[in-house]
Chains A and B, each alone.
Chain A
Amino acid sequence: MLASIAPAFAQVPVVPPPPPPPMPDILTKYRPVTVDMLKNPSPNDWLQIRRTYDGQAFSPLKQITAANVKDLKPVWIASTGVSNGHQAPPIVNNGVMFVATPGNQVMALEAKTGTMLWRYRLALPEDAIVLHPTSRGVALLDNKVFFAAGHGVLVALDAKTGKEVWKTNVMNNESGYYMSLAPLVADGKVMIGTSGGERGIRGYIAAYDVNTGKESWRVYTVPAPGEKGSETWPHGEEWKTGGGSVWVTGNYDQKTNIAYWGTGNGGPWMGGERPGDNLYTSSTIAIDVGTGQIVGHHQYHPNDSWDWDEVSPPILLDYKRNGKTISGLLDFARDGYMWFLERGDNGKINYVQGQPFVKQNVFKSLDPKTGRPDVDPDRKPAVGKKASFCPSLWGGKDWPPISFSPQTRLVYVPANENLCGRIEGFKVPYKPGQAYTGAISELYIDPPNADHIGEVQAWNVDTGKKVWTHKFETSQNWGPTMVTAGDVVFAGGTNDRKFRAFDAKSGKVLWEQVTNSGITAMPSTFMIDGKQYIAIQSGWGIDSRAMQNRLNMARPGKFPEVPEGGAIWVFALPGK
């Protein structure tokens, strides 16, 4: 029977696969990204998530101005094909755009026209632990595109083809470690951090060789017994599940080769379960990128018990204080305070000034020398003790980054006001990969008839004074900001699906566009053939969606569902 079949089968002609289509010119002529380009990028490109290593997200482009932005129009729109929160900026190198989305996807498109070039997706195992399934962007160097896949795999793609050059597993996803950040490339290394602060992880930042993916160093944000800072943990095993997650890309001082990373809350949530300051949770740590050593730190609040991750790193900038120019750091923290710091010698971080930027009732005062908060014990929850506090666990500002204009001397802050929380703790056993918060939380609006929640705030960095505030009456604000030399601030962030342009000096809304979904992504801007473009992803989800739900419980019907699904929008002024 088989013998009579085999010859017939063998006569079936084998059809060779069709040859691949020719590579488009824009890819054959792809311009490799050099170290110098990352340090001194052309204003025409957007090579890193905040354009420059200092995190300022300021563009020198000024074709689009406060006077003409009202004429801005969509030029092209492209669906990403996935849902959930889109947070990454479109990265652009010489006209080639790279966009990271949820679903472990990277898309490459022609920045001018939106023509698809290639698409990469890494399948997620069905039982993967990825509690925040998004990516905050890709990083570029040479001909490579670096991407942190959610389930703990670091990937280097060929920028011309979207094919994997190397791929390495960088964490144990089964124990609750995952990734959502954009990698940081510096000093021949690509760096990532670990998410999973709600799963009993011990957070770390690790660096890998850009060419091979081999691990160069790993630094834990929670020290082991005997290591520097371990005296701030109890003498038991608490450090092993101490938290200190790292899920936003650090900023970098290209002169000193020091990176400034933010760290998350401690694990479990209730500080009473791990008495001590708990370095380096809820801190900014300075890491020498050459050696992987922690050379400085500033902890914003010790023994965190409010889920106040301080992962969003400070920006690097010079500012004036008392007649001096300070080589500084500026952080708008989850804890509701803005922190002016100094980049001291050899990586040390010095406190300069701290003050609230939203209603804050947890700190009674700050130590004038160190900035250490004196915490009101009535505002600190614990196991079996419910406490209410402002701002809520989502903080005065969550992960969405601020931007800074050296022209206006203002920082532009996406804030949430009039939101408070209650937390009560409970004992929780540690099981690898399982929830390890040990807390139940509530959100409430305070006062209940508050006339707004979301804000864009503008503060002068030299005077420390607020210059303007834009208030959103019917929405929270999850919109990262970007500012240009045309004196325009761009941001989304609201549940009305709008992308807005604000006058950088006055805060006046100059232009807005309703999009397909709510925007929580970082904007970018670039120039091709003499034309300036503004790019943004629109796609709601993750925490903005969770907060919208909670607000709708507090004010039924006032915070309805925001439709989801991602799209890349690119705008420009009309004409050639």
Chain B
Amino acid sequence: MEDNTCGCRAAAIDRRAIIQGGLAVGASLAAPGAALGQADPATTRPRPGDYLVKDEDTSKKPLTPADIPLHKTIVSAWAVEPNENIVRKGSRLNGIILVRYENSELTPETLSRAAEGVVAYTQICTHNGCDVTDYIEAERVVQCGCHFTKYDPRDSARIIEGPAPRALPALPLKVENGKLVVAKAYTDRVGFEQA
């Protein structure tokens, strides 16, 4: 039964909220996030609904599947917050690589994240954080130029060979009004070994 004589239970709840929210006594007991302010959209990871633009394209033209050449190359891209059109390039960890295949080449899991054959992964190699920029045309796979980890984008960017500890996190895509759009958040933490 609640004991109100000392106000202890109420105090316990408030103290917990204060400790968690870092608020001073007497301040509003609103959610901690509001007290700390909004996260910067430019450094936030890509979110569902974001569209994609090519790296260095200042016109912010949304990418479509046709913009990614089949079997040819990596297209480096950034996600764009769609309401205010803020390009999420405030952190290099937000770099995205796009590659295009035929649907028939993709494993079922990768196909579920693809948009008309276009697959998206983080650009940041999980080994030491170099940018994965090399597309090996003869094998249709991508490779990090620093220590030569090879990932297979047709199969969840699993590691074919090399020193990286885990596959590249995948960014599920869909097509909306003809544009490539982020369908879900990254499947795993973006980043590299911190040692």
Which A residues lie at the B interface, using CB under 8 A?
2, 4-6, 8-10, 12, 82-84, 101-103, 124, 126-134, 198, 433-435, 437, 439-441, 543, 545-546, 549-550, 552-553
- Nearest Cβ distance between residue A170 and chain B, in whole angstroms? 20
Partner of B163, one of A2, A132, A435, A546: A546
Additional pairs, 19, CB under 8 Å, beyond known A127-B92, A132-B128: A5-B11, A6-B26, A8-B8, A9-B14, A10-B25, A103-B194, A124-B194, A126-B191, A127-B93, A129-B92, A133-B128, A133-B194, A133-B195, A134-B195, A549-B147, A549-B148, A549-B149, A549-B163, A552-B161
Given contacts A5-B14, A6-B26, contact A546 B148 (CB under 8 A): yes
Residues of B within 8 A of A545 (CB): 147, 163
Give the distance in Å from the alpha carbon of A90 to the alpha carbon of B191 in the complex. Answer: 30
B11 & A9 in contact (Cβ 8 Å cutoff):
yes
Partner of A9, one of B15, B93, B131, B148: B15
B129 & A128 in contact (Cβ 8 Å cutoff):
yes
- Nearest Cβ distance between residue B74 and chain A, in whole angstroms? 12
Residues of B within 8 A of A134 (CB): 195
Interface of B is mostly: loop
B195 & A82 in contact (Cβ 8 Å cutoff):
yes
A126 & B93 in contact (Cβ 8 Å cutoff):
yes
B102 at the interface (CB under 8 A from A): no
B7 at the interface (CB under 8 A from A): yes
B22 at the interface (CB under 8 A from A): no
B26 & A133 in contact (Cβ 8 Å cutoff):
no
- Nearest Cβ distance between residue B121 and chain A, in whole angstroms? 16
In the complex formed, the residue of A with least CB distance to B93 is A127
Give the distance in Å from the alpha carbon of A124 to the alpha carbon of B162 in the complex. Answer: 24
B69 at the interface (CB under 8 A from A): no
Residues of A within 8 A of B26 (CB): 2, 6
In the complex formed, the residue of B with least CB distance to A3 is B26
Partner of B146, one of A9, A124, A198, A553: A198
A102 & B195 in contact (Cβ 8 Å cutoff):
yes
Residues of A within 8 A of B161 (CB): 549, 552-553
Which of A127, A198, A439 has the most CB atoms of chain B within a 10 A radius of its CB? A127
Give the distance in Å from the alpha carbon of A4 to the alpha carbon of B15 in the complex. Answer: 13
A434 & B162 in contact (Cβ 8 Å cutoff):
no
Residues of B within 8 A of A12 (CB): 15
B134 at the interface (CB under 8 A from A): yes
Give the distance in Å from the alpha carbon of A110 to the alpha carbon of B148 in the complex. Answer: 40
Give the distance in Å from the alpha carbon of A453 to the alpha carbon of B134 in the complex. Answer: 29
